Amino acid sequence: MFRLAHLSDIHLGPLPDLTLRELASKRVTGYVNWHRNRRLAMFGTTLIDLVTDMKAQVPDHVAVTGDLVNLATKKETLAARVWLEELGTPANVSVVPGNHDAYVPGALKRSCEEWKPYLTGDNPLTAVSQGFPYIRVRGKVALLGVCSAEATAPFFATGAFNRGQAVALARMLETCRATGHFRVVMIHHPPISGAAAWSKRLIGKQFFSKVMREVGAELVLHGHTHLDTLYWLDGPEGKVPVVGVPSASQNPGDPEKPAARYNLFEIDGEPGAWSLTQRERGHRADGTGIDWIRERQLLSDGRAIKARPIIDAPKAEEPKLVMFGS
Ligand SMILES: [Fe+2]
Ligand SMILES: [Fe+2]
């Protein structure tokens, strides 16, 4: 069995002081927004506690689907590199960037340079656009990293998936289907109509759904909405689950966004008969600690059924040996 952890929307804080030059850009609206909304909602030990708990589960690999920083300043990008190094080695952690990692023109290039070992494929030559999509194979699982991040105008957080990435992704997925790997696609923006507000949507999602329809995948992971969602896209042999996870830094108690959580996917079986279980673990809504939130099996016919829970209760007492005679 392969165990894949999924974290997203780290939004590492606190924000460093900005220079006047940095404030004279789209960052000024983000700076005000962060101080108004995110400073309190996403500061404290929420992220540290969640990552500590995730590490204790000893996953085989960790997928991080973007928004590692807030305004993509140089200091934030460097701090995120340190955070990644603490999370795991580049061989065990795969990253795709989010819109906040590409906050202003030029930021995406710097984020990708700084985090390069974490978003470089096994064969970098196959990628088409700034190194995306990339592909990594770990055991029976192939991880495909797509970039939807781009700098946008103030008050917009859209993403883009273009024809070039679609063609390359389709080719990679086709190859992995032939080799019998379980294919996981990572993208920051949800490739689903209506999943995000219009100003935050993915532009080009029709290319993504076409790739899924024609070549398919076994699992799509995304972030961006900060919500726990499950959608399905049509694939050539059944449905493809599209799973979103809440922000890893969200403090409990927010009326609109679920508290910080990660997903743990258990992947088993073989081509044509894969078994996929999603276990959601994170902070309880009342802030009393970390627990299992939901456990379900995702079936290729588009059903999600209750999974066997992991029991943390103490083990039953060992049967005592009964001695006969003296
Ligand atoms: Fe985010
Ligand atoms: Fe985002």
Q: Indicate if the alpha-carbon torsion angle 90, 176, 201, 160 is positive or negative.
A: positive
Distance 5 CA to ligand 1 centre (A): 18
Q: Which ligand sits closest to the CA of 246?
A: 1
Q: Which ligand sits closest to the CA of 8?
A: 1
- For residue 256, what are the contacts with CB-CB under 8 A and spacing of at least 6? none
Closest alpha carbon to 223 in 259, 205, 247:
247
pLDDT in tens, 102-131: 988 999 999 999 999 999 998 776 666 678
Query: In this structure, are residues 108 and 132 in contact, taking their beta carbons and an 8 Å threshold?
Result: no
Confidence of residue 42 (pLDDT cuts 50, 70, 90): low
Distance 325 CA to ligand 1 centre (A): 70
pLDDT in tens, 125-167: 666 667 899 999 999 999 999 999 998 888 899 999 999 999 9
Q: What pLDDT is recorded for position 310?
A: 77
Q: What pLDDT is recorded for position 166?
A: 97
Q: Indicate if the alpha-carbon torsion angle 227, 116, 211, 278 is positive or negative.
A: negative
- For residue 231, what are the contacts with CB-CB under 8 A and spacing of at least 6? 190, 192, 195, 241, 242, 244
pLDDT in tens, 264-315: 999 999 999 999 999 999 999 999 999 999 999 999 999 999 998 876 554 5
Q: Which ligand sits closest to the CA of 34?
A: 1
Domains of the chain: 2-306 (3.60.21.10)
Is residue 55 classed as helix, strand or coil in its secondary structure? helix
Burial of 176 (0-12, 13-18, 19+ CB in 10 A): buried
- Scanning the chain, the segments in alpha helix (DSSP H) are 20-23, 27-33, 39-41, 46-56, 74-87, 107-114, 163-179, 205-214
Q: Indicate if the alpha-carbon torsion angle 254, 258, 223, 200 is positive or negative.
A: negative
Q: What pLDDT is recorded for position 23?
A: 63
Q: What pLDDT is recorded for position 325?
A: 41
Distance 7 CA to ligand 1 centre (A): 11
133 upstream amide cis, omega within 30 of 0: yes
What's the pTM value of the predicted model, to 2 decimals? 0.90
Distance 245 CA to ligand 2 centre (A): 12
What is the C-alpha to C-alpha distance for residues 69 and 49, in angstroms, rounded to an integer?
18
Q: Which two tokens stand for residue 240?
A: 């493809």
Q: In what order do the strands lie in the sheet with 182-186?
A: 134-138, 141-145, 182-186, 219-222, 239-244, 229-234
pLDDT in tens, 161-213: 999 999 999 999 999 999 999 999 999 999 999 999 999 999 999 999 999 99
Is residue 54 classed as helix, strand or coil in its secondary structure? helix
Distance 9 CA to ligand 2 centre (A): 7
Distance 227 CA to ligand 1 centre (A): 10
Q: Which residues surround ligand 1, an ion (CB under 5 A)?
A: 9, 67
Q: What pLDDT is recorded for position 153?
A: 87
